[in-house]
Structure 1
Amino acid sequence: MSRIPVSLDPWQPRARHLEFEGDLGPEDLPRLRADALPGHPLQVHAQFRLERGSLDEMRLSGTITGELWQTCQRCLQPVIWEFRLEADAVLLPPEGTPAGMSEGDDFVELEADGLLRPAVWIEEEVLLAWPLVPRHADCKPAAEPEFEEGEGGENPFAVLEQLKQSGPERGGS
């Protein structure tokens, strides 16, 4: 097993059938660091491999695990998001989509220089799985809304109905 490199050429035979594993920190994942809760750890562990698929395509597969701290959108307190992502994607070669691939397949576009940047790919996988509304499973809102009966004046639809009825008379000339 090899450490996760900064970049690698997936088309080189020596990169195939190798398994890469390692931990990535905040300095490796700038977009996650920017969205994670400051002052809490950002831990991501990845294990992946490059292999030729049955249609002679290059596949990138593996597991990404970790934990991120975010702000709960209900109680506004820190909440931890623990994740385990199973990735399996086809690398797009410079000449385009490999023959036999379907739209249902996940694809990974390489950088302009044809290299794979594992940290960028890992960060994108985590961002795609990021919860839209992070919250605790069993929390209460930070403040209950206070409504009193009759608050807010008249019903806006009733006001519109009155305006409609008191408007200028319609008729032909």
Structure 2
Amino acid sequence: MSEQHQKPLPVRFDPINFAHHGRELEGPIATKGMLRLRENVVTSNDLVSAKLNFSRGLYGYPLVTGQVKASVTMRCERCLDEVQVDLNPDISILVKSEEDTLPGNEGEKDTDRHEFYGYDGKTLKLSDLIEEELLLALPLVPKHQDISLCNQDVVAWLAANDAPDERQEASIERADNPFAILKSAD
């Protein structure tokens, strides 16, 4: 079997050119330069995997679609231990120059399906685009999927100190809801 050599992904690219030629990119991207991602996680793999397709979208703007896959370690908000989080965001981005403006409200229905990503009008740094999508995919409250996966010493301490569990917290929130009286106004 011959070893398949994968061409390295470009560091910077011209999104208009890529969209015009219908380019596809697939391969690993280093996380070393993704400082904002590294600030928000305990650790991350050195590489993330990306599969991106370029085409023309709304008003001819370059459209980037595809998927990114990464695995990061975050701090569980329940037990403060590390929790593995797999990120698999689907990407659908219209890339436009920061000077470009959308004409009127004609495309509003289409703009709801895509995010916009601004760039200098020349080239775009691929790792910045990927990092942005990974940051958006991070959970707001990282936690183990099941409390049984949490640090059992912390779980025992919470139980011994009568800390409310999630069901109790939800009922407390419902009881303290100042708008609850509006439900009876019907």
**Residue 77 (str. 1) matches residue 104 (str. 2):** no
Higher Cα radius of gyration: 1
- Structure 2: which 5+ runs fail to align? 1-5, 163-186
Task: State the secondary structure of the residue aligned to 1:32.
Answer: helix
Partner of 1:135: 143
Paired residues, number: 145
Are 2:21 and 1:16 equivalent residues in the alignment? Answer: yes
Match of 2:118 in 1: 109
Whichever structure has more helix as a proportion of its residues is 2
Alignment of 1:43-62 (within 5 A): 43-53=47-57, 55-62=59-66
**Contact 1:42/1:67 (8 A) holds in 2:** no
Could you tell me how far apart the structure 1 residues matched to 2:127 and 2:116 are?
A: 16
Kept in 1: contact 2:92–2:115 (CA 8 A): yes
CA distance in 2 between partners of 1:80 and 1:15 (Å): 39
Give the AA of the match of 1:109.
G
**Structure 1: any 5+ residue segments left out of the alignment?**
148-173
Deviates more, 1:54-63 or 1:93-102: 93-102
1:64 is matched with which residue? 68
- Asked if 2 retains the 8 angstrom alpha-carbon contact of 1:79 and 1:135, the reply is yes
Instruction: Say which of 10, 13, 19 aligns to 1:5.
Output: 10
Whether contact under 8 Å (1:16, 1:49) holds in the other structure is no
TM-score (norm 1): 0.71
1:121 aligns with 2:129: yes
Contact 2:28 2:49 in 1 (8 A): yes
| SS of aligned partner of 1:107 | strand
The 1:3/1:137 distance shift into structure 2, 3 A limit, reads same
TM-score, with length taken from structure 2: 0.67
